Amino acid sequence: MSLVEATCPACGGPITFKTGSSIVVVCDYCNSAIARGDKNLQDLGKVADLVDTGSPLDVGLSGVYQGVPFQLTGRAQLGHQAGGVWDEWYALFADGRWGWLAEAQGRFYMTFARPVDQRLIMPFEMLQLGQPIPSLGGAVPLVVAETGVATALGAKGEIPYALIPGRKYYYADLSGAHGEFATLDYSDVPPTFFAGREIPLEMLGFPATARAPEREAKRVTAKQLNCPQCGGPMALRAPDVTERVACPNCGALLDVKSWKFEYFKALKPGRVVPILPLGSSGVFNDVQYTLIGFMQRSVTFDQKYFWEEYLLYNPQVGFRWLVRSDDHWNFVQVVSLGEVMDSGRNVRFGGKNFRIFQDTAATVEYVAGEFYWQVTYGEKVQAADFIAPPLMLSREISLSAAQQKTPNAPKTGEVNWSLGTYLQRDEVEKAFGISGLPKPNNIAPNQPFLHKKIYKYWLWFMVAALVLLIIFGVISPDRKVFEQTYVLDPLKNPDDSQVRFTDPFELKAWQNIRITASATIDNTWVDVQGDVINNETNESEGFSLPIEYYHGVDDGESWSEGKTSSNDYLSAMPAGQYILGLDVRWEKIQQPMTITVKVEQGVMNGGYILLTLGVLSILPFFVLIYHWSFTTRRWKDSDFNPYQSSS
């Protein structure tokens, strides 16, 4: 590193450029941003004091990224158009590169300036939220996640560009499907392109002191302050990240600056009472969160429909939301825009397809507690919900207040995606150690159907039944136990019949029985009624074997119906010796009749198979009807109801 010592042109104090490629250094004595030129130092103006954001980082920390050591040489604090600030840390790498490490709401993004064909960069005013951006020198497609105006506020240390205090500039943040992150910086002409990715802090190789216990204690300790409007006591439960808070005593909506309150707006206190008290602690996915904020929002169709959102905070994992709508609950967390493939009415995320349920404007009706942005009554976003029960993917597109008031102004705003997971009422009660939450009386858009497993069990039983039948068929093949042919004399009267008793035969236990009778007939019928008789006990079981066969020619086309044989199945009978008793009648009594009777055991019965499968399907059939009813009720309030005729 190249060490250059000089005198601050603003206050005369000593300043030092420790790195040869830094452009600006912030004077430790007067907070002036001093830029070095070819011959003289230039005072760019005084920077504001840094807001304590509870960051675990500091100028001078060393780390390692992708195997290359680096050191944080400087920090800039930038103001967001919606209120709040974020930090940019400037990392000088051992190979001479500069890296930009952005920190916002506990998330970190490492980017580097990349060369790009300027013809590929769209003018700022042409960018659209959610718009895919063609490749800017890389193979990864990116999507516009946010467009905004940044303001240079505070700074510290050495910075590799000419930071001018108070300067405003446009920027666009881009997101990729696998954590890729990029920024188009329109403060220069032509714009500068920075590309990198979101990265967990622990993967940056900082020493353990970056998460020293005293830092963590400072971040999680609540601050006791007084409301500037009514003087009432207030507690900031997340002082390092809170941007706006509502006084529980007088309803004043307050901005939080350097852990001090500034009055913003008055709200009517107590108009909505949260069902979960602010300050409550709840455990979700083995993480303990503190409930720090409450918001009521609405959408309007034929009337207003309201729901509640509870802001949860844990300093190690950041923010989550708990949403209550019609007494249904969802646990919600933010997902990266680039991970969502948006194709209009359907989106894809995490390998799942989501179908649109609702797309409308949502309005903030009431707020209480703390929030990480400068929320206000009447704030609107365009909200769309997509469902794949038990999940709900929600998209919110918000425009800046200036854009809403002045539509012709350059469009600034952001698009956010969040993933909600449906929670049963008792899961919320268990998380907060409470009971008695109201029961829902309708079907939520992403409420899962709890009886779907029965289809899987039904399939298993069906497969098992078929396998068993096949096994029994293999280990017990058809076995003929008796066969005999009889020639019967002509009958005298149509009501007469002839009776025959067969020779004895042996039956085995646990095997079904098939009795078959066949006759040589043509355009006539034969009816065989009989009994299987146990020779020892005289117990019997009857069977019926009607045979008929007809054929002919009509209008030049031949036809036939019936068969020259018939069979009947009997259940297994005790092992032993049996005979058949036959009572035979036939239509053409003046002619003799020849019939053959056969007895078999261990025969596969297709009728039994169908009966078994039918019995197994009774319960799933009624569950299927209930499932259909459940699904149609889920979609009844949707603007995109697939079960409702478009006419």
pLDDT in tens, 382-434: 999 999 999 999 999 987 644 445 555 567 888 999 999 999 999 999 999 99
pLDDT at 352: 94
pLDDT at 213: 40
pLDDT at 3: 75
pLDDT at 343: 81
Pairwise CA distance, residues 445 & 447, whole Å = 6
Residue indicated by tokens 């998330």: 107
Closest CA to 515 of 429, 601, 443, 446: 601
pLDDT at 244: 81
pLDDT in tens, 151-183: 999 999 999 998 899 999 999 999 888 888 999
Closest CA to 324 of 354, 282, 286: 282
How does DSSP classify residue 429?
A: H
Task: For residue 616, list its beta bridge partners.
Answer: none
Contact call for residues 237 and 251 (beta carbons, < 8 A): no
Domains and CATH numbers, the chain: 4-214 (no CATH), 221-432 (no CATH), 480-603 (2.60.120.380)
For 90, how many CA atoms within 13 A lie in the half-sphere containing its CB?
23
pLDDT at 151: 93
Pairwise CA distance, residues 632 & 626, whole Å = 10
User: Residue 506 class from Cβ within 10 Å (0-12 exposed, 13-18 middle, 19+ buried)?
Assistant: exposed
Tell me the one-letter amino acid at 462. M
Which bin fits 81, alpha (ψ -120 to 50), beta or left (φ > 0)? alpha
Q: pLDDT below 50 — which residues of the chain?
A: 1, 211-220, 401-404, 647
pLDDT at 222: 60
**Counting runs of H as helices and runs of E as strands, what totals does the chain give?**
6, 41
Task: For residue 156, list its beta bridge partners.
Answer: 75
Pairwise CA distance, residues 72 & 63, whole Å = 8
Tell me the one-letter amino acid at 435. S
Pairwise CA distance, residues 627 & 144, whole Å = 40
| Structural tokens at position 280 | 């409550």
